[in-house]
Structure 1
Amino acid sequence: MNDEVLQRIQQVYGVENWSAGYFDISSKGHILVRPGKDDPRYVDLKELVDDLLSKHKLQMPLLIRFPQLLTSQLRALSGAYQSAISQYGFSGLHYPVFPMKVNPRREVVEEFLRESGRLRVGLECGSKAELYAAIAQEQTPESLLLCNGFKDEVFVRTALLGVQAGKRVTIIVEKLNELKMVIKLAGQLGVAPWIGLRAKLYSRGSGKWASSGGDSAKFGLTTSELLDCVRLLRETKLDGQLKLLHFHIGSQITDIKRVKNAMKEAARVYAKLRQIGCGIEFLDIGGGLGVDYDGSQTRFESSVNYTVQEFANDVVYVIKQVCDEENVPHPNLVTESGRFMTAYHTVFITSIRDEIETFAEDKPEITIDADDPQVITELKDLCDGINGKNYAEYYHDALEHKDELHTQFNLGLISLEDRAKGEVLFWEACARALKESEEDKFPDDEFESLKKILAQKYLCNFSLFRSAPDSWAIKQLFPIVPIHRLNENPSDFATLVDVTCDSDGKIDKFVDLKDVKETLELHKWKVGDDYYLGIFLVGAYQEVMGSHHNLFGNPNEAQVVIDSDGRYHVTKLVHGSRINDMLVFARYDRAQLVESYRKQVTARVEAGALSKETAAQLVVEYEAGALRGTYLE
């Protein structure tokens, strides 16, 4: 690949901007995946996909997990805090905790806990199911097991099972009644967990989740409630179990200034609690450390204007400064940076299956007859006369002629064939005007909108609601890049639609360094071509937040690691959902469905519409269909 093409490709897809050193482009034009930032080893993603499809007999779509990226991100997080602690003379330790809500898959949790001994990695759970799984995991005794969220007695009893197993279970109190329940059960069972208090800060984050903090936040104790909790713990002689102060101002904080303000306020609360005799040892700053999805390094909602080191430096410096002013010990710092830890490790692969035809596609050759209506002959003249100087004027004329065409049709003055001919000429005029505008250094904004209208709509074999739900729900931007043919200049503009029967099942917003693009540059595609697209940075939340809309299930999944010699190994395959799995999810009974279908075809046999042999074959085929995958094959 020559430098000019590579530069063009980098501008179009921005891989080096958002990849954090994990993804690159090879000279063959394939996406490479590295196990660590700027690691010389790599997986050729196109070759890996070909291997999974041919050798392992998987089908699209594919979710490919690279667990080494989890470890790399964890070490980057821990290294940033260790560096800041050393630089500023901070006496507390760093305790990274993985919040299971971000990605509760066993493969993810176990990968983080492999580093538990060296880095004190703990877990955070916010439901009974997460807690049930967490207390059985192998952790170093020094690490934490945090219990967040609203709790009932079963939740607390389960947490106490973890205490009895020797874990540092910390029940974080969200409201005063929870503390009363914990105290009651601890007295009944003779087992006392560590207690944490979640403070409701005035400070707020920035971006999509700014409402997680501030006065109207869903979680957290007010200042008076904090003091009530301290009083209650002292009255019940459990104040020695109060070990942690927690706060959270929102996920994906885009602006580092908001972090500084929150740390200052939280550190003051911690210091004041220490000064009234609370033996708090841990300050849990929650999540919020963002991921730069578009690579712009700005305060835009899909970006962040800081690095992980800058984030850690500000946290450590501000908390140390406040603690020194208040003359209280530096706390141990607990972080729940789940998005940062997991986003990069998963790549979702889909393929283009077809093109959704638009008015601009498959235009027949238009010939003008003497008896054609005037509006059509004038549209033909516009098409033939468009050039670099008049394209804007002629485009506006074409818009007027299109309105006139439809008015005449509605009045019954022209035929359906005339309308079809006029529409073809109109879209041809639009396409020619757009082409001329792209040669203009200063085209009008209206031609960007026209580009979107004329863009191809490619049908891709996946469900947006299953595999990238945040793209639909909160308009999250994810980098989307062809995983091959990147040694060619893309020539087409497109938007993507999924296979669900939902008009919202589309992606028409794409990452860009300076803006949000409404079309994605792709290479020329035709039916029968293998053309694979990767949706990157989907390791956080997307798997657990995905829905089974239209009963599309989980995609096929592969876990891949790279040896020290650079060879990759597929260490685990998880086959995607079958139709039968989704029937069970929707509470259908497969045997009952088969029996119902058998009755229907039997009735057709009795009516003489089917033979017994054909009916029996149909039942077999229907029964076997439940074992097929839910996506296009």
Structure 2
Amino acid sequence: MKAEPTWTVNDAEEYYGLKRWGGGHFQVDAEGYMCVRPLRNERTIRIHDIIKEAKSKGLSLPLTIRIQDMLRTRVTELNEHFRNAIQDEGYAGKYRGVFPIKVNQLREVIEEIQDAGKTYNYGLECGSKPELMIALAMHKDPKALVICNGYKDDDFIRLALYGRKLGKEIFLVVEQLSEVPRIIAISKKLDVRPLIGLRIKLSTAGEGKWASSSGEGAKFGLTSPEIVDAARRLKRAGMSDCLQLIHFHIGSQVPNIQTIKKATVEATRFYCELTRMGFPMRLIDVGGGLGVDYDGSRSNYESSMNYTMREYARDVVYNIKNVCTDEEIAVPDIVTESGRAIVAPHSILVTEVCDRISKNSVDFKPGKKKKRNVILRDLEAILENAHNSTPLERYHDALQKKEEVNNLFSLGYLNLSERAEADALYWQICQQLAEIGKAANYTPEELENLPKMMAEQYVCNFSVFQSLIDHWACDQLFPVAPLHRMNERPDVDATLVDITCDSEGKIDEFTDVEDVRSSIRLHGLKDKQPYYLGVFLVGAYQDIMGDLHNLFGRVNEVHVFLEDDEEDDFYIEDSIQGFTVNQVLGFTQYDGHLLTRQMKKQVDRATKADRIKPREGTRMLDDYAKLLTGGTYLST
């Protein structure tokens, strides 16, 4: 039998796709540890070392690690790509990006993005009253924009106009025609000149998971008749000078650059027409959509993107300039609302494998009866391939015998030990056929699902619904990889299941350059040795959108920075405790003190009835109270 070639860390980087989806930020060191490169230079941080540091601070897993320097890297790259494209194209306008708060509302994230964007007058976008309140308070640069999207009631409009009075360049983007008369009325009442934009429903539809947010059937935006109507209303109100921006959005995570090009061209035509109608147009907001290559395939697949950030910037600049030149209209300043591309890479979810579920978990030894049931002998013959059958024939025979076993057991003709032996033999056959299929050049269709069926389930200490809600809700793929032992050959095909009481709490689709994998190869578990997995590119939406399924709360979190010197050292600037049991109970209108009081009454009754000893009852109450202040996840 030919020996397998030696496994190297290069093989690990290739198998787990680090160089494809990692964007130059991740690598494996010589000892098999996953490392992050926040600045894409030679400075690296072992993620395993961050875990150890966090544990020394009393933070248990699951753990969210935020590499704050990566936020700065992404903000700088986006702005520099637009700056370079503008310079190369001889574009007369400026780039004025804003970060959409909805993508990650956490204060530490917003602060770091704002600090990184100071040089570029990088602004903020908000879509609700709470987000607008964040933007007004944290926006300090008079040269940076604040863009207000979403449905707006009178309080929202009034709050934005207060920002105008404070000297902020804050735009109210009209999403529905009914907002126009209210903006006019409230502006006149407050005696303030608003800055107004119109969101346009383009005929160009987006692609990918969020395509429904674009096109003529979209939830937001104005049709061309509504645009003309809104323009007339503003003119009649003497507010022609207030309309200065158009906005469009073709969906989050747009995979195909051609869609972006078409939408930009169409929107620029609207911009030129409004300029001709006499409005002092000066900004085009192309919205979000700049993708993240989650699977590293660099394709127009929904979890990927067939373009780079540099190409995105160049195409937006070029197409706006091209249309404006044709129309002989002065080019506008360009606004983008790129959120996912800024924050997704900086966040890593770390979980520990705490158990495994395997169809071959029990080393079953059959009994030594002289007269074994004939069906057991038949299954043993299929396992040993006594008749020299093809894999497909063996599978068909095994399926037939498995059905006979189930029927015989239900009718009482097989006892439990015989049923156990039969099941063990069947799964051994399936495992053997799955291994044969991996090495074969061709696998019959009926056998293609065997590796997935036989994959082990690694039970991981986290909740998909809390930390990876997009994976459950819309099949978003996230890269998964071990954080250590990468210099060892992985030999277990596995899927991941969380600790919630829900069969949907699982990850059974994994990134791959050619297709979606139904399992991922991981290392065998070792006694008393933790096995850590990282889920990457989770910094967009997951933090806020997670729910409290089974009352598993927010996980512990650390914010990591590189040291200022040139060494490969880091420090944890801030750590945030995850939710305690008492906190999540409070979210569902329970009071921990009242629950403890009710427990005490039950303990007292049990003590009086002599069902438990007083000391035992006291210990029960102490444990109950202690658990209220503890975390919601497993203690590993």
For 1:59, the aligned partner's letter is S
**Structure 1 residue 626: deviation in Å?**
0.7
Where 2:353 maps in the other structure, the secondary structure is: strand
For 1:595, the aligned partner's letter is R
Sort the Cα spacing of 1:7 and 1:236 in 2 relative to 1 into closer, same or farther, 3 A: same
Alignment of 1:114-193 (within 5 A): 114-193=115-194
Conservation of the 8 A alpha-carbon contact between 2:7 and 2:488:
no
Matched, 1:5 2:5: no
Q: More displaced, 41-50 or 407-416? A: 407-416
Question: Which residue in 2 is equivalent to 1:435?
Answer: 435
Where 2:442 maps in the other structure, the secondary structure is: coil
Conservation of the 8 A alpha-carbon contact between 1:368 and 1:377:
no
Q: Deviations over 1:211-248 (max 9, x none)?
A: 11111100001111111111111111122111211010
Alignment of 1:28-427 (within 5 A): 28-36=31-39, 38-53=40-55, 55-356=56-357, 358-366=358-366, 369-385=369-385, 390-427=390-427
Conservation of the 8 A alpha-carbon contact between 1:387 and 1:436:
no
**Structure 1 residue 155: deviation in Å?**
1.0
**Structure 1 residue 472: deviation in Å?**
0.4
What TM-score results when the alignment is normalised by the length of structure 2? 0.96
Matched, 1:592 2:575: no
**Structure 1 residue 76: deviation in Å?**
1.2
* Partners of 2:619 and 2:12 in 1: CA distance: 53
Question: Which residue in 2 is equivalent to 1:452?
Answer: 452
Where 2:96 maps in the other structure, the secondary structure is: strand
Q: Deviations over 1:168-220 (max 9, x none)?
A: 11111111221111111111111232111111111011111111111110000
Conservation of the 8 A alpha-carbon contact between 1:359 and 1:427:
yes
Matched residues, number: 629
**Structure 1 residue 265: deviation in Å?**
0.5
* Partners of 1:160 and 1:593 in 2: CA distance: 47
**Structure 1 residue 546: deviation in Å?**
0.7
* Partners of 1:627 and 1:41 in 2: CA distance: 39
* Partners of 1:388 and 1:226 in 2: CA distance: 75
For 2:234, the aligned partner's letter is L
Q: More displaced, 363-372 or 576-585? A: 363-372
Where 2:137 maps in the other structure, the secondary structure is: coil
Q: Deviations over 1:435-470 (max 9, x none)?
A: 223332323344331111111111100010111111
Alignment of 1:469-548 (within 5 A): 469-548=469-548
Alignment of 1:547-626 (within 5 A): 547-563=547-563, 564-566=565-567, 567-626=569-628
**Structure 1 residue 582: deviation in Å?**
0.4
Conservation of the 8 A alpha-carbon contact between 1:120 and 1:140:
yes
* Partners of 1:247 and 1:401 in 2: CA distance: 61
**Structure 1 residue 367: deviation in Å?**
5.2
Conservation of the 8 A alpha-carbon contact between 2:359 and 2:456:
no
For 1:580, the aligned partner's letter is N
Sort the Cα spacing of 1:388 and 1:20 in 2 relative to 1 into closer, same or farther, 3 A: farther
What TM-score results when the alignment is normalised by the length of structure 1? 0.96
Structure 2 gaps, min length 5? none
Alignment equivalent of 1:15, drawn from 12, 15, 18:
18
**Structure 1 residue 49: deviation in Å?**
1.1
Where 2:170 maps in the other structure, the secondary structure is: strand
**Structure 1 residue 161: deviation in Å?**
2.2
Conservation of the 8 A alpha-carbon contact between 1:482 and 1:533:
yes
Where 1:413 maps in the other structure, the secondary structure is: coil
Where 2:612 maps in the other structure, the secondary structure is: coil
For 1:608, the aligned partner's letter is D
* Partners of 1:617 and 1:115 in 2: CA distance: 52
**Structure 1 residue 85: deviation in Å?**
1.1
**Structure 1 residue 471: deviation in Å?**
0.6
**Structure 1 residue 414: deviation in Å?**
2.2
For 2:514, the aligned partner's letter is K
**Structure 1 residue 86: deviation in Å?**
1.4
Matched, 1:25 2:39: no
For 1:509, the aligned partner's letter is E
Q: Deviations over 1:470-501 (max 9, x none)?
A: 11000000000001011111001001100111
Conservation of the 8 A alpha-carbon contact between 1:525 and 1:531:
yes
* Partners of 1:164 and 1:350 in 2: CA distance: 48
**Structure 1 residue 388: deviation in Å?**
9.3
Q: Deviations over 1:595-628 (max 9, x none)?
A: 1111111222332333444434433332222101
Q: Deviations over 1:500-553 (max 9, x none)?
A: 111100000000111100001001114432100000000011101111111111
Conservation of the 8 A alpha-carbon contact between 1:113 and 1:139:
no
* Partners of 1:11 and 1:160 in 2: CA distance: 53
**Structure 1 residue 387: deviation in Å?**
10
Where 1:136 maps in the other structure, the secondary structure is: helix
* Partners of 1:82 and 1:494 in 2: CA distance: 45
**Structure 1 residue 413: deviation in Å?**
2.5
Aligned-residue Cα RMSD (Å) equals: 1.7
Q: Deviations over 1:131-186 (max 9, x none)?
A: 11110114321110111100111111211222222211111111122111111111
Q: Deviations over 1:569-609 (max 9, x none)?
A: 11001111100110111111122112111111122233233
**Structure 1 residue 404: deviation in Å?**
1.8
Q: Deviations over 1:29-88 (max 9, x none)?
A: 11111112x3111111112212222x2121000100011111111111111111211121
Conservation of the 8 A alpha-carbon contact between 1:286 and 1:336:
yes
* Partners of 1:333 and 1:238 in 2: CA distance: 23
* Partners of 2:120 and 2:547 in 1: CA distance: 34
Conservation of the 8 A alpha-carbon contact between 1:171 and 1:194:
yes
* Partners of 2:146 and 2:542 in 1: CA distance: 24
For 1:19, the aligned partner's letter is G
Q: Deviations over 1:314-370 (max 9, x none)?
A: 1111111110111111010000010001110001100000112x3322231235633
* Partners of 2:446 and 2:592 in 1: CA distance: 54
